Structure 1
Amino acid sequence: AERRVHKRYRALLLGRLELASGTALLEWPVDGKEALTKLEVLSEVPHVQEGAITTVNLSPLTGRRHQLRRHVAQFGHPILGDDLYCPIDRTGRGAQLFLQCIEVGFPHPCPPVDSGAENRSVLVTTPEALRFGRRRLRAQMGWDYERAGH
């Protein structure tokens, strides 16, 4: 079936991603079903314990439960604050999950008035949450707030 809803997420991943092109297609089954995620590296900042925190966009090409979280953890770079798919010694207790939907697109629910008109779509975007920028700044300054319980 053709996917009609398209989503894009912003995430902070633990570690430095070594990708030649800056993008990757993650293909690991989830619960025995095909699962595909497009990963795009946006930036990275140094981090004392992890080497880097990498800002990425993630686009699920299939829709499986916890697909994004599982895929990046299997890739070896879990989402900062993921206490389900990341070892506690890497993410810290009580840290917020740094995963946010930043874009949703879908076909417009009303057909075009003119039968010859092109199909319309709706695109909803939201800016990255301020906490993402604050966390990157803390990493650059060498602070490790997750492990300190803040």
Structure 2
Amino acid sequence: MSLTIDGKAALKAILEREDLFNRVKPADLSQAAVKLARKQLNAAGQGKDDLLALKAALGDDVFKKCLDTLTAHQVKLLARRLDPGAEEIQVNTGSSALRHVRAILSGSVTASAAPTEAPKATETAPKKNKYLGRKAFRTGR
């Protein structure tokens, strides 16, 4: 038996032959859909339009369930990805970040541009320690 299977073919077979897989409950299929959608939510490079298309494909209920199953860290990363210029108070906790993500996806809040950083002052080179390397400080015998 091969260790790698064709997952799409396996899922398609399960969905097409419900008579053979009568023990697979709708709740199990919904959990599988949530897990796969959650992987897509965590994938890098997903923008607002991609998430709205995912929401349209899955439906509102499944999409909301996917957002609810994300950890606080994952929601914060998603909020930062959707709105890089968000204030810290909007994304400092998981619940506030989730609220901000939902507001962005609903269209009630627009994503702000990334904050521009002020140019840093040129740092002076650190001074050499004149005692470093002196025989008195060596530990070897």
The interval holding the TM-score normalised by the smaller chain is under 0.3
More strand by share: 1
Identify the structure with bigger relative contact order (alpha carbons < 8 Å, sequence gap 6+). 1
Greater fraction of residues in helix: 2
TM-score by length of 2: 0.27
| Structure number with bigger Rg | 2
**TM-score, with length taken from structure 1:** 0.26
